[in-house]
């Protein structure tokens, strides 16, 4: 990389989902995942607040590296959440390494094995290095499969913290619930996955049918 290299950026990824095979009469769904920086006016004041959405991506390889004899993961445990910071392509001269569109993610830990007995939500938290920095990853946009919503665990926040509508809760909180009630589509998927691996694998095989487009 040099100062002469230019990187193309996109601010929205559209995910086009067909009806799932276990609910073939459902309408198709379109999700959007945004990654837009704050824009300033001529006086240097914020004109539009930046937004960086959370999405679920297909984790590869689909086995734990230290336990090759473990059963293959299925359902929600095949995916992890990441906050999208940018959609981009490599500049000319480097695109031979990967010519397609990429996403730069800040990672969350794998979803916990069990769900809450109170509301049935799975939990996650920021995935950090030994120095406390957030782990990051670059993936092809084709591996991003769902938009999702993470709700902070408010009872773990500083009791003196005064919340307001402009706060970036993903910058303040450390621990989250995956809110699968966020959309009917995600709710149906999680309920379907909980029936067991034998019924979940069909849908996992059909995930490549999800189409993506950038804007």
Q: How far from the centroid of its chain's Cα atoms is residue 70's Cα? A: 25
Assess contact for 143 and 107: CB atoms under 8 A.
no
Does 150 sit behind a cis peptide bond, omega within 30 degrees of 0 on the bond before it?
no
Q: Which segment of 61-65, 95-99, 113-117 scores lowest on mean pLDDT?
A: 61-65
pLDDT band for 196, please (50, 70, 90 cuts). Answer: confident
Tokens 């084709």 belong to which residue? 142
* 62's tokens: 């689909």
Task: Tell me how far apart the alpha carbons of residues 212 and 210 are, in angstroms, rounded to a whole number.
Answer: 7
Query: DSSP class of residue 6?
Result: -
pLDDT digits (tens, 9 = 90+) for 71-99: 677 889 999 999 999 999 999 888 889 99
pLDDT digits (tens, 9 = 90+) for 25-54: 999 999 999 999 888 888 878 788 889 999
Task: Tell me how far apart the alpha carbons of residues 86 and 84 are, in angstroms, rounded to a whole number.
Answer: 6
């Amino acid at each position: 990389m040099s100062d002469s290299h230019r990187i193309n950026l996109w601010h929205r990824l559209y995910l086009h989902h067909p009806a799932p095979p276990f609910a073939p009469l459902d309408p198709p769904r379109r999700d959007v995942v945004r990654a837009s920086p704050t824009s300033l006016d001529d006086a240097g004041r914020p004109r539009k607040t930046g937004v960086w959405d959370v999405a679920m991506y297909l984790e590869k390889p689909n086995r734990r590296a230290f336990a090759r004899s473990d059963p293959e993961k299925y359902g929600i445990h095949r995916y992890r959440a990441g906050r999208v910071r940018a959609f981009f392509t490599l500049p000319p001269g480097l695109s031979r390494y990967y010519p397609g569109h990429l996403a730069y993610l800040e990672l969350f830990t794998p979803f916990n094995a069990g769900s809450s007995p109170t509301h049935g939500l799975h939990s996650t938290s920021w995935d950090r290095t030994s120095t406390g920095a957030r782990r990051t990853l670059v993936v092809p946009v084709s591996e991003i499969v769902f938009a999702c919503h993470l709700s902070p665990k408010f009872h773990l926040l500083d009791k003196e913290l005064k919340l307001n509508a402009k706060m970036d809760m993903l910058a303040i909180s450390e621990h989250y619930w995956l809110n699968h009630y966020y959309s009917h589509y995600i709710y149906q998927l999680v309920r379907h996955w909980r029936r067991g691996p034998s019924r979940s694998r069909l849908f996992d095989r059909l995930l490549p049918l999800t189409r993506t487009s950038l804007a």
